[in-house]
Amino acid sequence: MKKRTDRKIAIAGTAAAAVLLPTIMVGLAQAGIGVPTGNSEASGNAQAIPSFGPATQPSSAASAASPSASPKAKKLPSVPLGTNPFKTGGGSPNPNNPDANNGSHGKKPHMPSGAGDSKYAKAPDGAAITGVKKINSRIFDVTIASPALGAAVKTRVMIPKGWKSNSTKSWPVVYAYHGGSNNYTSWTKDSNIEQIIGPYNTMVVMPEGGWNGSYTNWWNGGKGGIPEWETFHINEVIPLMERNFHAGSVRAAIGLSSGGQGAITYAERHPGKFKYAASYSGALNITAPGMPVILTSMNRQAGTAIWGDPITARANWRAHDATVNVAKLKGIGVYVSCGNGQPGPFDNPNAAPMDAGRIGEQLAGTMNENFVAAAKKAGVPVTSHLYGPGMHNWKYWKRELAASWPTIAASIGARKS
């Protein structure tokens, strides 16, 4: 009887730890406890932005002796357990979403079963279009059998006026990346993209990015493998669009929230791929003090599978941090915008301090401020609109798309039809 009782106590203790540990970790990280104290190189000769370490204020003596000493970082808000401050949509993930298929994580990329033959030109790795469904006169949903994901997922395509399937003409193209807890339908469902870009001779490609895919090839304990979202977007979607839909080689990338992170980091990591990159409330400094543990705790199902353990896989986190790699944006047009989490003109003025939209934009605001500061130090021209009060929602991102589009259009040669 005693052994049975001890076993029940042990099980209960383990369950309690599983519930409480993320909250404890977040609190410790925000206090600067238990994390390495190194600084981020951020941007070559730029002033360093604090990375994994605590938010510390250098003494006046240290500042005088070392003009490159890191500035004091802002204290991050507490994130209640079970909330998702970066959520950008409602509903639940598709049962076939690669993020939720734990059985496939870490496996070698392969074509999904039942992909069948394709009459369309394939991507270099064999990714193939297996279906095209017409939504309206200018919008198609394209099913792609992806080795990088080991699954078939969809990409929404908005064609310009005058587009014809048998044309030899190519078109300027915008790759639009959705945010967390959302899917490939988000830009046409939630935004004003049809009204803003629709009148131009421009194609818009809106690929699936996963429920919490984070626009990266997942770490999976160092094994890599499925899901490889970056490979899907860069090495599969782009060539498939160019080989089958007449998408041109003059490209812009835009995104919101985690999709904003994707737009900026893809431009950094793939030189020459994009002429312009725009981020609206993007997660642009994932190694800011306390941020890694918040992100791994928030992504409870994926956990450290996305970028790895924040300490042992630190190099991988830094390789996907837009602020750390900001110097790579030289020669690329950049637009970033974000609020600070306080209720703004489109919000409930009485929103509770722990409202997810407030917390999400406060986190994003801190990351965007760091990004803009690092870009300035690195000599990278950035158009920024850090507009102060405003929460994490589409009402602001619609406005920012409209404000940024004329400059994006000019960069890719887009004109009104």
Structure tokens at 202: 């421009």
Structural domain boundaries in the chain: 6-49+84-412
- Residue 293: per-residue pLDDT: 84
Kindly indicate the confidence band of residue 280, based on its pLDDT and cuts at 50, 70 and 90.
very high
Q: Is pLDDT above 80 for 15? A: no
Q: Is pLDDT above 90 for 52? A: no
- Residue 2: per-residue pLDDT: 43
Global pTM reads 0.84
- Residue 188: per-residue pLDDT: 97
Whole-angstrom Cα distance, residue 152 to residue 98?
A: 9
In terms of phi and psi (left: phi > 0; alpha: psi -120 to 50; beta: otherwise), the region of 257 is left
| Residue range 123-161, pLDDT digits in tens | 999 999 999 999 999 999 999 999 999 999 999 999 999
Whole-angstrom Cα distance, residue 6 to residue 12?
A: 10
Strands of 12-52 (E only): list them: 39-40, 49-50
Please give the CATH architecture assigned to the domain spanning 6-49+84-412: 3-Layer(aba) Sandwich (3.40)
- Closest alpha carbon to 42 in 296, 415, 375: 375
Mean pLDDT of the chain: 84
- Residue 300: per-residue pLDDT: 63
**What's phi and psi for 405, nearest 5 deg?**
-60, -45
Q: Is pLDDT above 80 for 13? A: no
Secondary-structure breakdown of the chain: helix, strand, coil percentages, each rounded to the nearest 5: 35, 15, 50
More confident of the two residues 228 and 74: 228
More confident of the two residues 4 and 133: 133
| Residue range 350-361, pLDDT digits in tens | 999 999 999 999
| Residue range 36-50, pLDDT digits in tens | 333 333 333 233 333
- Among 4-18, 93-107, 149-163, 187-201, the minimum mean pLDDT is found in 4-18
Kindly indicate the confidence band of residue 1, based on its pLDDT and cuts at 50, 70 and 90.
very low
- Residue 87: per-residue pLDDT: 86
Percent of the chain with pLDDT over 70: 81
Structure tokens at 147: 């080795």
- Closest alpha carbon to 79 in 296, 298, 258, 289: 298
Percent of the chain with pLDDT over 90: 71
Question: How long is the chain?
Answer: 417
